[in-house]
Amino acid sequence: MTEIIDGNAVAQEIRDDLGAAIETLDDAGVQPSLATVLMSDDPASETYVSMKQDDCAEVGIEALDYDLDPEADAADLFDVIEQLNADDAVNGILVQMPVPDHVDERRVLREIDPEKDVDGFHPENVGRLVSGHARYKPCTPHGIQKLLAAAGVDPEGKDAVIVGRSNIVGKPMANLLVQKQAGGNATVTVCHSRTDDLAAKTRGADIVIAAAGVPEMIDGSMLKSGATVIDVGVNRVDADTEKGYELVGDVDFESAKSVAGAITPVPGGVGPMTRAMLLYNTVKAAGRQHDVSVELP
């Protein structure tokens, strides 16, 4: 019987387990804090930021909220980042993407202090990840590692196919899975829009991670029997519902479920883990910055 990997449950366990680390910080007089910076009026971005702030409140992390007018000058955003970098009371900085077109996204990532870059996207942190000495693992790939572990899936010696090569998921995921350490040691293939005969690649994989942003592009016919399928996609498609749409992943869940040994749903799979690992990185950052040793789940 196919295991449905419950991301909500695993994320809750991680939030619960962070309590001990937060108590250790509190005993040392440290209040972990995360600053969220929003320069957008996109409803989805506003919702994401609100959810992250709620998560912080649940576990005892102080959430600092900075909203900027999307029409404001780019310098206003960089001034806020500079202010947060200099503030010792701020442990983590998250600038919600995407930023407006007139703001250089790459510069945003470079301007955040690497020690406070709890997304793990600063070039210095990317380099540390690739070298096998990550300061902060990017939240979605790290969350996927936790989901695999929760499902009892050890990547060591397995063939893993990642569909998608983004800087947020595909590339860091490949780096984590290939590394010579716990949660790694897989043989990794990264596929993308130019891959020839994608189905041939995915059918040979023990682990398939779909992160291309294409609704239901992978179906059961493209999977090996018993494969573990991690669906990162969250896509809106038209549907006869009250909202006029429904959310689907990059995997056709029903057909894949009949073949896979384990699979994540959408929603309720990878999404909650991304948010949980942001909290994880924020607590880790607080410990690093204040030289307090904390045990993390």
Question: DSSP letters of 31-94?
Answer: --EEEEEE----HHHHHHHHHHHHHHHHHTPEEEEEE--TTS-HHHHHHHHHHHHH-TT--EEE
CA distances in angstroms from 232 to 27, 206, 214, 250, 263, listed in the order given? 37, 17, 10, 7, 11
Catalytic residues: 52, 96, 119
Joined tokens for residue 52: 């992250």
Joined tokens for residue 147: 């989901």
DSSP 222: G
Closest CA to 51 of 274, 285, 280, 284: 274
Residue the block writes with tokens 């947020």: 168
DSSP 197: S
Is residue 224 within 8 Å of residue 192, measured between CB atoms?
no
